[in-house]
Structure 1
Amino acid sequence: MNAQDLKNSILQLAVQGKLVEQRAEEGTARELLEQIKLEKDQLIKDKKIKKSKPLPEITEDEIPFEIPESWEWVRVGEIGSLTRGSGIKRTEVIEDGYPCIRYGELYTTYRTKFEKTVSFVTKELFDKCHKIHTGDVAMTLTGENKTDIAMAVTYEGKDTIAMGGDMTCWSHHMMNPLYLVYFINSPYAISCKRNLATGDIIIHISNDKLATILMPVPPLEEQHRIVAKIEEILPYIDQYDKAYTKLEAFNKKFPEDMKKSILQMAMQGKLVEQRPEEGTADGLYEQIVAEKAQLIKDGKIKKEKPLPEIAEDEIPFEIPSSWRWVRFSEVMDVRDGTHDSPKYIETGIPLVTSKNISGGGLDFSNVKYISREDADKINERSNVDTGDILFAMIGSIGNPVIVNKDRVFCVKNVALFKNYDKSKMCIEYVYWFLYREQYIMKKVASGGVQSFISLKVFRNYLFPLPPLEEQKRIVAKIEELLPYCDQLIK
């Protein structure tokens, strides 16, 4: 239960008479309603308020829930009067003058002094407008499917504020105004308001419809105690909200942190045991180096510049003795896509960029197209095959993808990782290494507005190399554990 749900529960208990006890010495709501009727009749007689339209009798099947015997059901329009605001145009607002409150300045604050939110109008316009007085309740009539309520208090010692359009003022009610505010904000009243409103995204309700809503009325002294109890509880709800928000943030972050921890253990050789019969990474490394040398000799790949020796202070963490630290391009063919911007055409060969890599796959729905001639030139250098890994190297760095090629395409500003020999390296192990490292790479990426990782960085990147069979067992264990992290999100 979040803080809003808890607050809703408190307000619902309040309007059902379950938040405080009833006291016989405080009289009954019927007595209060008789006083309100007498006062209202006198105000009508004195022409201070207009006589409202007759409201329908309350039938038994309309009553939504039980209330204490000392309470009464009435319609909102029977309590005081509802007066719609006057239209105040934006062009009529001035820098200083007589205070007014416009629709956009009314928020769910329960108590409002309007000291920072009010606008100002001339005295001439102020005199023409309907007013909000201290103790009145102001409500919006139009909004984005929500209820914005506030109780007008004062503005710099003035107890009268002009009221703009699309809101109404509930005045002359002889009730505790905050009880009315809490009632209007209760789940029951909000539901009533929405059921009576017209519109979908932007809803509107009229004063006439507001007036028909059923309201449970307690004796006045009990209203005061209900308000006091709510205001006693609300600070605790605020504290709960802060704690709940922290917990939600933790719960949201925890599955991803758990996934990172699993991958960290995997890359440190702590996720599965080492088995002597599976050999060592040194033996595997020699096989891969020999295969790479043969590919260079056959002219299938180009000879690279010598890579620097791995210094002791470069090594980020310890790995098992049967493993070996290598630089990425020692064991993987590391390339990238074109950096040029070929001419785009309406239909042709898809050109995949970082924006087309997401969620562990390739999205061709918004891809741009280039000619076959341009695509062939790009693919001479960076042809993508099934089983290769793509990794965004500019902008949103990361999002590794193991390619399952079902169409011809080429890549731009994307790192491409290819096996020298598919029988020597488990590409899924490389994928999970890159998946983990993307978080680190994002932090150390170069660039200002648009960050990037250079091809040189990828080729020199340190890579913990286990024996091949252990790579496969690591991948199997990762794929066994990660679904549990996904379940934590749900």
Structure 2
Amino acid sequence: MEDRMTAQQLKNSILQMAVQGKLVPQDLNDEPASVLLRRIKKEKEELIKEGKIKKSKTESFIFRGADNLHYEQIGKEVRCIEDELPFEIPDNWEWKSWGEVSYKIQYGYNAPAKDTGVIKMVRITDIQDNQVLWDSVPFCNIKENEIPDYLLHNFDILFARTGGTVGKSFLVENINEDSVFAGYLIRTVYNYNEINPKYLKYFMETSLYWSQLKKGTIATAQPNCNGQTLSKMILPIPPLQEQHRIVAKLQELEPLIEKYRIAEEQLHELNSNIKDQLKKSILQYAIEGKLVPQDPNDEPASVLLERIREEKQQLIKEGKIKKDKNESIIFRRDNSYYEKFGNTEFCIDDEIKCSVPINWILTRQKNLCWLNNGNLSKGEILPYLEVKVLRGNKEAETKDSGVIVTRGTNVILVDGENSGEVMKIKYRGYMGSTFKILQTSNFVNEKYVDIIFQCNRIKYKHNKKGAAIPHLDKELFNNTLIFLPPITEQQRILEKINLITHLL
């Protein structure tokens, strides 16, 4: 399972092939990227000359030297960057910086978001699943003469520069409302007749993009990345015709990757369900005597049950538990099982869904464990151990009265959706009001009894009494029919379950 490629890994691999020139075939008739990039350079120089864009003082210029190695020039400084290039690209491709192929890298407009205003202002939070949620886009107040500088256009690329979404990008398409963009965004503008905007957007999903972004991000409580980091980012530029072919191929593959992702999720869910179902089946096998072989030399469970009865009588005598008004004995006669209450007998074969193993005995759950409310105490300041506290989801409040429970005590939820769940007390405190103390006989393995509870949780849930707030059906809990194995077999069962669980 671990060796199977995930949908995200598959997508990353395909994107990597795309930007390395390995996804679609090269065509020698394509105009080389170098010619395309010379046109872009000339157009930028014209725009700077006309005052339409500003010349960057720190822009990186990447070129091939006479030795065919790659160099970077910033101002008058030139250095070889051949060893810094992450992979080889086809001969008619070129390595360039983002700043070279962009006409403008621009920060958004800083203004408070308002319910009404001059114009809408797109924030990164308004972009979900590569769509602008126009109904949630707020307005802002901006001077009319400033709007053209920040007005969004189709094929602009927006880039989140701060926070948990730093690096997230969005290709503006099918814009249907005039809008500016907010200050936590950066916009890149370029000639989309020379560079396919979708190619740039796909690049911004590659590992090369994210690795460069990570290096340029300032690691603070709010991660921050500036326009200079984006400007210096290197990217491989294919010929324009090949850009179109790459985009077409990626768009063709996207729905297939999505199908793979859905199938992957379904498989994961199936595997999880199988594991859960297998575990449930193992536990059910355990309490039916089908998990480990019986040993005729084990002391019979009937002897064990007699000890438990004596223990129960002693607890009643000491006032620790209440006397059972409906005490019964289950016995076998003429290949059938009967339950005797005083002088009355009932056949209970309909309750028994499988054969009772050798040396095992049938009994009711109330003969193995007992629910009690505990005794109220006052005056001592102790933590109040409610459900959220025991789950570790809340700090305990303190109280000066309640039922004291100590470390190691088992309690069972009797109110709420998870009625029937058993929890162990970790430190001394007052028991929460939704619990009862669960006392188990000293003569049975507590962990084996826990397996019985796990198997019957659904039964408890489906039969809870109560309307607005479900309650544990105490009568059902007490009268659940139990297959009781010898104490030595209980231990063998637990060891087998631990072994199988480890393998799962």
* TM-score under structure 2 length normalisation: 0.78
**Deviation sequence 1:373-420 (CA, Å, 0-9, x none):** x57xx46xxx7797x6433333444553578x9x76664443334345
Choose the corresponding residue for 1:239, options 259, 262, 265: 259
1:227-376 equivalences in 2 (<5 Å): 227-278=247-298, 281-282=301-302, 284-293=304-313, 295-296=315-316, 301-306=321-326, 312=348, 315=351, 317-320=353-356, 322=358, 323-337=360-374, 345=381, 348=382, 352-357=385-390, 366-367=395-396
Matched, 1:86 2:86: no
Alignment-mate amino acid for residue 426 of structure 1: N
Aligned to 1:51, what secondary structure does the other structure show?
A: coil
The 3 A distance-change label for structure 1 pair 70 and 444 is farther
Aligned to 2:29, what secondary structure does the other structure show?
A: helix
Aligned to 2:114, what secondary structure does the other structure show?
A: helix
What is the match of residue 197 of structure 1? 217
Matched-pair contact (CA < 8 Å) for 1:336–1:455 = no
Higher RCO (C-alpha 8 Å, min separation 6): 1
Aligned to 1:139, what secondary structure does the other structure show?
A: strand
Choose the corresponding residue for 2:236, options 191, 206, 216: 216
Separation of aligned partners in 2, 1:466 and 1:237:
53
Corresponding residue pairs, total: 459
The 3 A distance-change label for structure 1 pair 285 and 47 is same
Matched-pair contact (CA < 8 Å) for 1:267–1:433 = yes
1:143-162 equivalences in 2 (<5 Å): 143-156=163-176, 161-162=179-180
Write 1 or 2 for the structure with the bigger share of helix. Answer: 1
**Deviation sequence 1:25-71 (CA, Å, 0-9, x none):** 00211000011112222222333322232424523233222211111
What is the match of residue 45 of structure 2? 41
- The gaps in structure 2 that reach 5 residues or longer are 62-71, 73-79, 329-338, 340-345
Shift of 1:352: 4.3
Write 1 or 2 for the structure with the bigger share of strand. Answer: 2
Choose the corresponding residue for 1:11, options 15, 29, 43: 15
Aligned to 2:187, what secondary structure does the other structure show?
A: strand
What is the match of residue 169 of structure 1? 187
Separation of aligned partners in 2, 1:313 and 1:128:
85
- Give % identity: 30
Shift of 1:431: 2.2
Shift of 1:429: 1.7
Matched, 1:68 2:90: yes
| Cα RMSD (Å) | 3.6
Choose the corresponding residue for 1:24, options 22, 28, 45: 28
Matched-pair contact (CA < 8 Å) for 1:327–1:461 = yes
After alignment, is 58-67 or 278-287 more displaced?
278-287
The 3 A distance-change label for structure 1 pair 123 and 416 is closer
Separation of aligned partners in 2, 1:364 and 1:194:
34
Separation of aligned partners in 1, 2:140 and 2:390:
55
Alignment-mate amino acid for residue 39 of structure 1: E
- The gaps in structure 1 that reach 5 residues or longer are 486-490
The 3 A distance-change label for structure 1 pair 223 and 353 is same
Alignment-mate amino acid for residue 83 of structure 1: Q
Alignment-mate amino acid for residue 366 of structure 2: S
The 3 A distance-change label for structure 1 pair 195 and 163 is same
Separation of aligned partners in 2, 1:183 and 1:341:
68
What is the match of residue 439 of structure 2? 418
Matched, 1:484 2:503: yes
Alignment-mate amino acid for residue 229 of structure 1: K
Separation of aligned partners in 1, 2:460 and 2:219:
49
Matched-pair contact (CA < 8 Å) for 1:389–1:431 = no
What is the match of residue 484 of structure 2? 465
Aligned to 1:249, what secondary structure does the other structure show?
A: helix
Separation of aligned partners in 2, 1:270 and 1:408:
39
Separation of aligned partners in 1, 2:378 and 2:354:
45
Shift of 1:8: 2.0
* TM-score under structure 1 length normalisation: 0.80
Aligned to 1:437, what secondary structure does the other structure show?
A: helix
Separation of aligned partners in 1, 2:284 and 2:479:
20
The 3 A distance-change label for structure 1 pair 314 and 289 is farther
